[in-house]
Chain A
């Protein structure tokens, strides 16, 4: 099977984000990682080719440093990488989707395009859908179970409160992966070394004939969320503490 996996190079969720100006952040000052949800997508594709043969190509739209995320995905077992370079961490999802579409279609014919369910930096959760629309493919996001049956994918997703939905999707398709689909592997040292030698193609948006500008959504402000300033500790023995808590929650906070 020819499998493509779209990944994103994002600040580590534990990283401290330093805001610069009105809506920028210091991306040199924090550690970047593979978007956590994309690891489920990479693992799924790699497992499928390990079992049935085929090729896994990882694709990203990002700044030059995003090559590190492609290498990390290749260390997990992806065969090749394609980096579409852009100048900004925040590219709107329409442009990202069009760039991914063009890069994939220029490269080959996918049986399945995997993505993570969303990226933890912009938290937009829509690129899989826009990519599918651009490629005219069906899409299911937040997939945490999948199997292939006679040219179709049977996928599972959670629909709230622990209820589960099973869907049948025709191939080729776009599937957005989330936790539960598999356990992403930790690459071993030799895999990391091997990944450094795997082919990585770099493209610019102009190579794909994609114009930027004209985005109808724009980041205009970015602010730190203030942390709460330390808990008020309720003293006394257990009984006194819980009584004080219930009183506060009822009378002061009015939340119960």
Chain B
């Protein structure tokens, strides 16, 4: 029996869907109290959705009216105050840009070990499983501190409903902003509507895509699947796509339920970033491309013919 905190991330004023898998990870640890922690005053529908996925308590945290989004140190400090106030035995979060940052600040501030980007957690055994060596191996780490901190790879654990009647609470954290790191601007101009690392379906184009314009073809297909588009390192280096779209080593690590690679050779570095996808499909003109040796389904053909045909087929099946 323990108290598990889950740091909830929001996007555009609502709870991000990938949080629900993290709640599922927390709920699967036996009889515990699940406390969802939100670093905002109000989030539309938070109590209902978080309760449906097993959060008994939804805590809205504030810090003297300060804007926590503008100071990662302040947010980490407020989270540390929550850990003490609610006597948390574990804190789970997303291994997202924000989660990675806040948890690492929390861990160094509280001098606690942290397991990053975990694939699974076992609170009873106090172990986590996570990637080592760019996805080639999985390590089991024993975490023996009083509080277990971990971030979990988005989509690595499936969301499972576990309805309870959630209680909402507010907590005023008594923390000061050290004021040494301040967010001065957030630019969302180039932002996609779905974050690559959190997408359930990803359609990736390799170098044969040949231009930035041609990604529109992949985008249409991805949109029908409720997903987004990615790029290989070769395509990014050739200037066809921004680095924010790169999957693999020196890019993003993703774990969607469906990954469709178009014109990818299948390098180790690329697989490092998408190996934990549930189903991997490859489309390539070269029947000997290495990717066919390590994916689930393959179509040997030109992506410029196969992708539009796939888009049409998806429209028909809808």
Once bound together, how far apart are the Cα atoms of A180 and B243, in whole Å?
Answer: 7
Does the CB pair A255–B279 fall under 8 Å? yes
Count of A-B contacts with CB under 8 A? 262
Does the CB pair B299–A245 fall under 8 Å? yes
Could you say which of B115, B116, B141, B243 contacts A144, with CB atoms under 8 Å apart? B243
Q: Is B268 an interface residue (CB 8 A)?
A: yes
Q: How would residues 141 to 166 of chain B score, 1 for a CB under 8 Å from any chain A CB and 0 otherwise?
A: 11111000000000000000000000
Which residue on chain B has the smallest CB distance to residue A40? B250
Does the CB pair B108–A159 fall under 8 Å? no
Could you say which of B96, B104, B134, B186 contacts A126, with CB atoms under 8 Å apart? B104
Q: Is A79 an interface residue (CB 8 A)?
A: no
CB contacts under 8 Å to A, within B2-28, are none
Does the CB pair B275–A160 fall under 8 Å? no
Q: Is B42 an interface residue (CB 8 A)?
A: no
Does the CB pair A138–B191 fall under 8 Å? no
Which chain B residues lie closer than 8 Å to A51 at the CB level? none
Which residue on chain A has the smallest CB distance to residue B136? A17
Q: How would residues 157 to 192 of chain A score, 1 for a CB under 8 Å from any chain B CB and 0 otherwise?
A: 111111111111110010000111000000000000
Does the CB pair B141–A126 fall under 8 Å? no
Does the CB pair B116–A125 fall under 8 Å? yes
| Least CB distance, B225 to chain A, in whole angstroms | 6
| Least CB distance, A250 to chain B, in whole angstroms | 7
Which residue on chain A has the smallest CB distance to residue B259? A255
Which chain B residues lie closer than 8 Å to A142 at the CB level? 97, 100-101
Does the CB pair B144–A133 fall under 8 Å? no
Could you say which of B108, B114, B258, B298 contacts A132, with CB atoms under 8 Å apart? B108
Once bound together, how far apart are the Cα atoms of A223 and B97, in whole Å?
Answer: 27
Q: Is B66 an interface residue (CB 8 A)?
A: no
Does the CB pair B295–A14 fall under 8 Å? no
Which chain B residues lie closer than 8 Å to A249 at the CB level? 258, 279, 281
Q: Is A202 an interface residue (CB 8 A)?
A: no
Q: Is A49 an interface residue (CB 8 A)?
A: no
Which residue on chain B has the smallest CB distance to residue A223? B138
| Least CB distance, A219 to chain B, in whole angstroms | 6
Does the CB pair B293–A230 fall under 8 Å? yes
CB contacts under 8 Å to A, within B47-94, are 73
Q: A225-B135, A248-B297 are in contact. Are A163 and B190 (CB under 8 A)?
A: yes
Could you say which of A160, A161, A217 contacts B143, with CB atoms under 8 Å apart? A217
Once bound together, how far apart are the Cα atoms of A234 and B109, in whole Å?
Answer: 53
Q: Is B219 an interface residue (CB 8 A)?
A: no
Does the CB pair B295–A233 fall under 8 Å? no
Task: Tell me how many residues of B have a C-beta within 8 Å of chain A.
Answer: 96
Q: A224-B136, A232-B297, A233-B300 are in contact. Are A217 and B183 (CB under 8 A)?
A: no
Q: Is B195 an interface residue (CB 8 A)?
A: yes
Which chain B residues lie closer than 8 Å to A122 at the CB level? 132, 139
Does the CB pair B185–A246 fall under 8 Å? no
Once bound together, how far apart are the Cα atoms of A241 and B135, in whole Å?
Answer: 30
Does the CB pair B133–A121 fall under 8 Å? yes
Q: Is A253 an interface residue (CB 8 A)?
A: yes
Q: Is chain A's interface secondary structure helix, strand, loop, or mixed overall?
A: mixed
Does the CB pair B280–A158 fall under 8 Å? no
Does the CB pair A233–B181 fall under 8 Å? no
Once bound together, how far apart are the Cα atoms of A159 and B125, in whole Å?
Answer: 33
Does the CB pair A234–B298 fall under 8 Å? yes
Does the CB pair A123–B297 fall under 8 Å? no
Q: Is B301 an interface residue (CB 8 A)?
A: yes
Most chain B CB inside 10 Å of its own CB: which residue of A160, A180, A228? A160
Q: Is A193 an interface residue (CB 8 A)?
A: no
Does the CB pair A124–B116 fall under 8 Å? yes
Does the CB pair A164–B187 fall under 8 Å? yes
Q: A125-B104, A218-B142 are in contact. Are A138 and B181 (CB under 8 A)?
A: yes
Which chain A residues lie closer than 8 Å to B108 at the CB level? 97, 126, 129-130, 132-134
Could you say which of B145, B184, B269, B278 contacts A255, with CB atoms under 8 Å apart? B278
Which residue on chain A has the smallest CB distance to residue B233? A179
Q: A133-B109, A141-B104 are in contact. Are A167 and B184 (CB under 8 A)?
A: yes
Does the CB pair B185–A166 fall under 8 Å? yes
| Least CB distance, B254 to chain A, in whole angstroms | 12
Q: Is A106 an interface residue (CB 8 A)?
A: no
Does the CB pair B301–A241 fall under 8 Å? yes
Does the CB pair A242–B258 fall under 8 Å? no
Could you say which of B73, B113, B242 contacts A94, with CB atoms under 8 Å apart? B113
Q: A123-B116, A129-B108 are in contact. Are A158 and B137 (CB under 8 A)?
A: no
| Least CB distance, A117 to chain B, in whole angstroms | 9
Which chain B residues lie closer than 8 Å to A227 at the CB level? 293-294
Which chain A residues lie closer than 8 Å to B114 at the CB level? 93, 124, 126, 217
Chain A interfacial positions (CB closer than 8 Å to B): 11, 13-14, 16-17, 19, 23, 25, 36-37, 92-94, 97, 118, 120-126, 128-130, 132-134, 137-142, 144, 154, 157-170, 173, 178-180, 215-225, 227-228, 230-234, 238-239, 241-243, 245-246, 248-250, 253, 255-256
Q: Which 8 residue pairs are nearest across A and B when measured between Cβ atoms?
A: A221-B140, A231-B298, A138-B180, A133-B108, A217-B113, A161-B195, A162-B244, A129-B104
Other than the known A97-B108, A256-B225, what 9 A-B pairs have Cβ atoms closer than 8 Å? Answer: A36-B249, A123-B130, A126-B104, A133-B109, A168-B181, A179-B250, A225-B275, A234-B299, A239-B313
